[in-house]
Amino acid sequence: MTCTYTIMCIPAGLQNMHRILRFCRSWKQRINIGGNTRYGNSSHRFDRGKVTNSRKQRPSTLLCRLSPQAATSSSLVFTRAPWVRIGRLRSRTLDTCGNIGQIAMEENSERSNLSWSSTYSYTTDLHPDTIEFSPSSHIALCGSYELNEITGIRCGSLYSFSSKEGLDFFVDGNYLCPGVLDLSWVDNNTVLSAHADGTLGVWLLDGLAMRPCFYEVHPGYGNVHLWELTQGIASTPVKIRAFCAHQFEAWCSSVDSLQDHVFYSGGDDGLCHMWDTRQLSHAVCTLKHEMGVCSVRNHPTLLNIISTGSYDECLRVWDLRMVRTSTTGSVTAPSTPLSSCTVGGGVWRHKWSPSGDWILVAAMSAGFATAKLISPTVTDAAKGDCFTMSIHPAGRFRSSAQLAYGIDWVEQPTFHASTRRWIVGTCSFYDNRVDFSQLLMTPT
């Protein structure tokens, strides 16, 4: 069984064999006209030891992906040759602080049969930007990031939330570290993290403590490097292959959870490439977008079906079998996706439900949203036939969130087969807020 996460895709129990795709970019000023958010360089000030924002800022992004690998060795992909550094990070127990308690539902879904209710909210010291549930669904980790312009240090924290029954989450730990930009669980005892100082962290859960080791990496510009890791977390990566993935900064990557030799990359050039690790001289196919691609995921059960999110505020679903060959011999995917919908903000992250019929979206300036996948011919698609599908916005929640970045969800059992219930973890950047909510879908 494989599990797909924001930065990595690996099977449970795979502790020493990992395939990592690491892409990096440095943020450059972007101005979106027409009511959208403007981003640029940051401006922070420190007042009595607390960080406050005087101007909005988007940190440089460091994203990774991990894929299952059946062989005895595994592969890592970095944007530049890494310098390996092993470190130990002290942990501290978090004092009870922040907003703890029952929070009333802020917004109702646009559909009457879908409701979102917040059950726990916590205010972080630094800006949170990523959240991930453990495979067991009993632990959630949230990474935060903030720039100290006085020292130039990008500091961060890793917040731990736990639940005995997988329903009510409460903060129980805080671990200081360089700014955290992305997280992924390897198994219930191992977590990987991408940091603002160019390091890849490997965290081992040892009882109530977390023991990290760090690999130091200096990112490049739009390039992808393939590395091999064979001796566990303390080994030195060995370079296998390097190639140029994008003309501009690479923003995201994802390994196909159904085909471990296939991965995808998206960048500021508005392109999403499909790659095959067995032949890296060129992309297998390319998907064109109006603006930069910032998230890409494969469908959890259907081969060759992927979804992409872009700064053009559009969530798209593609069928990679509908390819054509240009006059130059290069393969491009159809310029028109199977379906698309607008969510009101840049699709920074999106997650499929395990059943593949719902998509959860972190829509940046538009808060969080859900989309329903409608496909009357999924059975034909499973047989290898091309099919049609459509996605429709089903609900929008916390639209007042100040830059929705992190999102994850796990499905919970219910007493009625027609009722669906998910526990959703969200984090919004500038209001320093982490929320755990219940998303309930009841029959109309």
- The predicted structure's pLDDT at residue 398: 72
Is CATH 2.70.170.10 the right assignment for the domain spanning 2-441? no
Radius of gyration of the chain (CA): 20
- The predicted structure's pLDDT at residue 35: 33
CA-to-CA distance for 436 and 406, rounded, in angstroms?
A: 12
By the 8 A CB rule, do 323 and 339 touch?
Answer: no
What is the torsional sign of CA 170, 174, 177, 178?
A: positive
CA-to-CA distance for 400 and 421, rounded, in angstroms?
A: 24
Question: Tokens 């029959």, residue?
Answer: 443
- The predicted structure's pLDDT at residue 293: 93
10-residue mean pLDDT profile of the chain (444 residues): values are 30 31 34 31 30 34 37 32 30 27 29 75 92 90 91 90 79 90 83 82 72 60 61 52 78 85 88 87 88 93 92 91 60 73 90 88 89 63 53 66 88 77 90 89 74
Q: Where are the domains of the chain?
A: 2-441
**What pTM does this model have?**
0.69
- The predicted structure's pLDDT at residue 387: 54
- Other beta carbons less than 10 A from residue 2's beta carbon: 16
Could you tell me which residues come within 8 angstroms of residue 299 by beta carbon, excluding any fewer than 6 positions away? 305, 306, 307, 317, 352, 356
Phi-psi region of 136 (alpha: psi -120 to 50; beta: other; left: phi over 0): alpha
- The predicted structure's pLDDT at residue 374: 76
CA-to-CA distance for 207 and 189, rounded, in angstroms?
A: 9
- The predicted structure's pLDDT at residue 115: 82
CA-to-CA distance for 251 and 269, rounded, in angstroms?
A: 10
CA atoms within 13 A on the CB side of 79: 28
**Residue among 213, 215, 176, 3 nearest 94 (CA):** 176
